[in-house]
Chains A and B, each alone.
Chain A
Amino acid sequence: MADSNVLIRVDNLVKHFPIMRGLFQKQVGAVRAVDGVSFEVKRGETLGLVGESGCGKSTTGRAVLQLYRPTSGSVHFDGADLTKIKGEELRAMRRKMQMIFQDPYASLNPRMTVGEIVREPLIVHNVAIESEANERVKQLLELVKLNPSFSTRYPHEFSGGQRQRIGIARALALQPSFIVCDEPISALDVSIQAQVVNLLEELQKEFNLTYLFIAHDLSMVRHISDRVAVMYLGVIVELATRDELYSHPLHPYSQALLSAVPIPDPVAETARQRIILTGDPPSPANPPSGCRFRTRCPIAEAKCAESRPDFREIKPGHFVACFFADRYI
């Protein structure tokens, strides 16, 4: 597949975290956080990655950027397999891919001024000398709608929404083409969330950015994404264009997940049918055999325990990992 529109191609990505026990720290098992996910992100699009806590969505984001070295699988970005390169070569690639973190309180160094924080990538990657860098910092702060005179202040002087803007300015400093947004708004108040999402959308248009937008808020993911992937216990269970996924979910988990999202409209809320899943997700250290979702699935049968359903293209552009997805078409 040599589609020039594809910026990132992830193939069978696996990330296991070893569980060590005892005096000699012998490995006794592994948390299978990401267990074989494949997807592509096209240039200029936003791919939403949704799932509940512990499903491996953040680990996927970090493994794509090589912040965690994947256990196996490949990540092709701009022609290079990131899992194969290291050192200076990887560092050079990092300029093109950045990350925005969830917690705007933990992801900014409290001892650095805003100017220093936003300038740091420029200095680390030797792309600007001191005087140019200061000019660039000003531009960046303006870009994210912060007053450039704030650059001498410290992070604690800002509200959550403003801090997230600082994080966005830092991510944009090196003019990346790809940004992983890891729950960028879930720590913010409702009225501030829309500000940050609108800013991310404006910046995307202006700089033709490509986003991998990781979140658990399905309404917000619908709003910002072109295509959406649904994760459950380390695997992608469904991937389709936004409208297709939200109007015709084919995987029983996607269906339950979407039906559980509250709608801010009392009429729609009372009219809709909920699929209430029983129980809790199993532990990724000891996932069920076969289909990962079978222990909570309302339509599971014996064969679901025996083998893992393929992640197949059931309609053009609509991928699903379920033996019985054809029923819902």
Chain B
Amino acid sequence: MPELLLDVKGLETTFKTPDGIVHAVNGVSFGLKEGETLGVVGESGCGKSVTMLSVLGLIPSPPGKIKSGTAHFFGRDLLKMTTAEIRQIRGAQIGMVFQDPMTSLNPVLTIGRQLEEPLVVHLGMTRAQAAIRAAELLTMVGIPNAKDRLSDYPHQFSGGMRQRVMIAMALACSPQVLIADEPTTALDVTIQAQITDLVKRLRSELGMAIIWITHDLGVVAGLAQRVIVMYGGFIIEESMVNELYVNPTHPYTIGLLGSLPRVDASGHEILTSIEGSPPLLYEKPTRCPFAPRCKWAMERCWKENPTLETIAPDHRVACWVDVKTGRAR
């Protein structure tokens, strides 16, 4: 087995809110191999973003608190690092792209200034060297007249262009890992296609590993090699991408795939919706988080929370029920 680039074990993150403690991430473990693209899928509030923010030390504390867990990156635990130490890693060895390119860019600094910053801070370049490299980076992400555009401000770029700038910034220091949190969600579909196309090209050119967080199972299908499905702060299924779509095993994954219409369908499709709504997470679940919405739920599902079990090579699922037979696994 190849060495894991990033190895997260037992991560638990909570938030203190006026209404009580929210258990956002409840013991999540996963690994990222060198050069692979890992899709993290789930609906809003499932803990997919909080997991990655925790790993990166970007959870504001208070109200957030990392209760337990480790996240090893090149042999060092990111969760135990001081702010100064993790800053050496963020933006240098791990690049980040967030959903909303307008709020992630500083509106009063030029694009050039913002692109040069990581180069100066992490790579120790001079301003003049950084300016040359920044223009190269903008060209790499497909922005025409890169040199002239360095003096422009974020509002002078369209949404798709801003996301390209964000990607250029994330890749400025040639990171081993790129973490992208819903990077195409705010974009139109033709622009989304441009961005995913760009990421695929950069991946083959630069060979970085990618963690791609999204709620869109369509985007993941075309981009990821391996997929993690999250629900209620847990990983409920993990599989290679081809296996997951052909052989979804957790009732939630099955429901999610069944509720998606396909643009290439023929005739009328029936959408099987999942009844009910996602859990609020005010209590640390002692049962399966999906049980209230699950067609197959048995007595045990209401009493004990299933753990991730390997059911086939590279395929793990957290469910007491074997959906194919409707009986206990």
Contacts and interface: CB of A to CB of B under 8 A. Distances in A.
A149 B81 CA distance: 52
B256 A267 contact: no
Contact of A189 (B44, B190, B191, B219): B44
B273 interface: yes
A258 B215 CA distance: 20
Interface residues of B, number: 46
B221 interface: yes
Interface in B218-245: 218-219, 221-222, 241-242, 245
A262 B262 CA distance: 9
Contacts of B216: 190, 262
Nearest to B273: A194
B189 interface: yes
A256 B263 contact: no
Contacts of B189: 52, 216, 218, 257, 260-261
Residue of A159, A259, A265 with most chain B CB atoms under a 10 A cut-off? A265
Interface stretch (A75-83, A101-109, A272-280, A316-324): A272-280
B260 A261 contact: no
Nearest to B267: A243
Most buried by B among A194, A198, A267, A274: A194
A266 interface: yes
B260 A246 contact: no
Contact of B188 (A53, A161, A268, A278): A53
A190 B218 contact: no
Given A190-B215, A194-B271, A274-B197, A266 B245 contact: yes
Given A191-B259, A191-B274, A198-B271, A264 B218 contact: yes
Nearest to B160: A280
A315 interface: no
Interface in B163-200: 188-194, 196-197
Contacts of B190: 52, 256-257, 260, 276-277
Interface string B244-268: 0100000000011111111111111
Interface in B24-41: none
A265 B271 contact: no
A171 to B, nearest CB: 20
B259 A270 contact: no
A265 to B, nearest CB: 6
Interface in B98-135: none
B272 interface: yes
A191 B262 contact: no
Interface centre among B215, B261, B275 (most CB of A within 10 A): B261
B260 A264 contact: yes
A269 interface: yes
Interface in A11-34: none
Contacts of A194: 258-260, 271-274
Contacts of A195: 273-275
A222 interface: yes
A265 B263 contact: no
Interface string B287-318: 00000000000000000000000000000000
A224 B150 CA distance: 45
B289 to A, nearest CB: 13
Contacts of A53: 188
Interface in A25-84: 52-53
B325 interface: no
A223 interface: yes
A198 B271 CA distance: 7
Contact of B221 (A52, A257, A266): A266
B277 A161 contact: yes
A204 interface: no
Given A191-B256, A261-B218, A264-B245, A276 B277 contact: no
Contacts of A270: 222
B256 A260 contact: no
B269 interface: yes
Nearest to B217: A264
19 contacts: A53-B188, A189-B44, A190-B43, A190-B217, A192-B273, A194-B260, A216-B189, A222-B263, A223-B261, A246-B263, A257-B189, A257-B190, A261-B189, A264-B245, A265-B245, A270-B222, A274-B193, A276-B190, A277-B190
Interface of A: 52-53, 159, 161-162, 189-195, 197-198, 216, 218-220, 222-223, 243, 246-247, 256-270, 274, 276-278, 280
